Amino acid sequence: MNITEDLSIISLILNASLLVKLVMGLLIGISFMSWYWIFRKSFALRDARNRTDKFELEFWSGGDLNALFQSAANDRHNASGMERIFEAGYREFTKLRARQNIDTATAVDGARRAMRATYQRELDELESHTAFLASTGSVSPYIGLFGTVWGIMNAFRGLANVGQATLSQVAPGIAEALVATAIGLFAAIPAVVAYNRFAHDIDRISIRWESFMEEFSNILQRQAR
Amino acid sequence: MHDFAFNRPQPGKWQSALLAAGMHLLLGLLLFYSVRWQTSKPAAVQVELVSALPPIQAPARTAPPPKPVVQPPPKPVVEPPPPPAPKPDIAIKEPPKPKPVPKVEPKPEPRSEPKPKPVEKPPEPKVEPKPKPRPEPPPPDTRREQASQDRMLQEALARESAQMAQREAAREAEMMARVAAEGARLKAVQTWADRISARVRNNLVLPPGASGNPEALVSIALLPDGSVVGEPRMKRSTGNAALDTAILRAIVKSSPLPKPDDPSAFQRNVDLIFRPLEQ
């Protein structure tokens, strides 16, 4: 072990032991995936928010429900979550109304159940992959720590073979090992922040959808009379 | 059933992947350029490398040439190479003979400076009449010593001084260039010596009873990769035979020794002043 050593980040990574390298590679992979989902989720959530705004505006501007339903049904691949909830509820309601022997309360109930199902599905779609961010945030520091502990163990084991121990003989090994923790933290911090942010956003959107469902059931009930 | 969730378009897939990659690239660059730890070892004062110093003083280079004039026998080996390629020869000679410096210096300069090039030509015509102009110098030398003819001796002297002048000039120029690099090189040599002694110290098993602050001067022959050639020699003992052998053993055990950061500081023969007990 040389006493004078340049510790650039590259040489630190290259000099690490195999296991520490593996840990670093794993962490970099995790970090990449977590950033990927951070971007994708943030795009998806922004999109969902904008469309919900747009649909709410359209819905409450007092247009014809049938026209609204038609446009939602025709454009279902591009529809927003709220539009789909509306479409499912209205479709069920009209189907039930068409039958003679079914009273209003049952029809509204059926429409509500259909809306509830679509709501669950949409919410699930919004929430997908946020669990990955959560576990990245909680686990990757530990993975990094594992790499560090392993690296430091090696550094000390190397020290045992040297008669006269100086700090400069252990320092590079420890610095090497600490890089693993650093990478783990780099992966974890953005993931935790993004997860909290997304959870909050999804909550707000789901509350809007839920209140829309209630209000729409009321409208259907009124219409049925 | 409305399973739109599963076949709907997924926007921003590639965009996100690219952004994530960009993010990591940025992070990597940031790390690469901002994190440059440099552990520079504090200059420990335990060791000096003796033979590293002389080459910087110019006189050391003149030392070998003048001697041959007085003692012909060793000359034949050394002489033929210099005229064609003075530089490498000088470079090789530098380290081994540091001490003769002061005595020899005064002579060559007065002789050489007045006649740098004009002198160079006369010797050649004189040599030409003889069958072999350059390869021959060794034989004439020995013959001249035996016969001690005046003319031949003077001729040899003239040629000698011409070569000296030539060498002097080359040396002068080289010296100027070297003096500039001297400071940096000294420093490199010093840190190298520190590292060597630190390595040796780690492998040193102190014999019981060693005390005080003994000092050993050890001569080590090195290969460019740092490994020790042959046995290191103890030039100046510590006064404690057990300690001496322990030091020599430690040096052999430390092979390969660390290489200098600056490759130009490397020398094949290194005289190391080592104080094993100093903390």
* pLDDT beyond 60 at A168: yes
Residue A131's contacts (CB-CB under 8 Å, 6 or more residues apart) are: none
Q: Write the ipTM.
A: 0.74
Give mean pLDDT, residues B11-38: 83
* Degrees, nearest 5: CA angle A75-A116-A51: 40
Mean residue pLDDT across chain B: 67
Confidence of residue B226 (pLDDT cuts 50, 70, 90): confident
| Cα distance between residue A163 and residue B262, in whole Å | 28
Ranges A16-20, A38-42, B10-14, most confident: A38-42
Q: What is the pLDDT of residue A112?
A: 92
* Degrees, nearest 5: CA angle B54-B57-B63: 75
Q: What is the pLDDT of residue B107?
A: 46
* pLDDT beyond 70 at B89: no
| Cα distance between residue B10 and residue B130, in whole Å | 96
- Interface-testing mutation among B2, B19, B196, with chain A (most A C-beta atoms within 10 A): B2
CB contacts < 8 Å between A and B, how many? 94
Cβ–Cβ below 8 Å for B19 and A163: no
Residue of A nearest to B37 (CA): A7
* Residue linked to tokens 């809306």: A115
Confidence of residue A177 (pLDDT cuts 50, 70, 90): confident
Residue of B nearest to A81 (CA): B5
Distance from CA of B172 to the nearest CA of A (A): 35
Task: Give contacts of A4 with chain B, Cβ < 8 Å.
Answer: 39-41, 191, 195, 261
Q: What is the pLDDT of residue B37?
A: 59
CA distances from B135 to A83, B74, B131, B169 (A): 103, 16, 10, 24
Q: What is the pLDDT of residue A205?
A: 93
Residue of B268, B270, B258 whose CA lies nearest to B217: B270
* pLDDT beyond 90 at B238: no
* pLDDT beyond 60 at B96: no
Confidence of residue B192 (pLDDT cuts 50, 70, 90): confident
Packing angle of the helix pair A167-224, A18-60 (nearest 10 deg):
20
Cβ–Cβ below 8 Å for B16 and A43: yes
Cβ–Cβ below 8 Å for A164 and B201: yes
Instruction: Report the residue from A32, A163, A166 with minimal CB separation from B24.
Output: A32
Give mean pLDDT, residues B125-151: 55
Answer whether 0.80 is exceeded by the pTM: no
Higher pLDDT, B6 or A79: A79
Q: What is the pLDDT of residue B124?
A: 46
Q: What is the pLDDT of residue B40?
A: 54
Confidence of residue B125 (pLDDT cuts 50, 70, 90): very low
**A134-155 pLDDT, tens digit each:** 999 999 999 999 999 988 888 8
Residue of B nearest to A7 (CA): B37
Confidence of residue B46 (pLDDT cuts 50, 70, 90): low
Q: What is the pLDDT of residue B94?
A: 44
- Interface-testing mutation among A38, A43, A90, A159, with chain B (most B C-beta atoms within 10 A): A43
Least confident of A36-45, A48-57, A129-138, B68-77: B68-77
Q: What is the pLDDT of residue B104?
A: 43
In the three-class reduction of DSSP (H, G, I as helix; E, B as strand; rest coil), residue B84 is classed as coil
CA distances from B40 to A3, A5, A161, B257 (A): 8, 8, 23, 19
Interface of B with A in 13-32 (CB under 8 A): 13, 15-17, 19-21, 23-24, 27, 31-32
Q: What is the pLDDT of residue B7?
A: 58
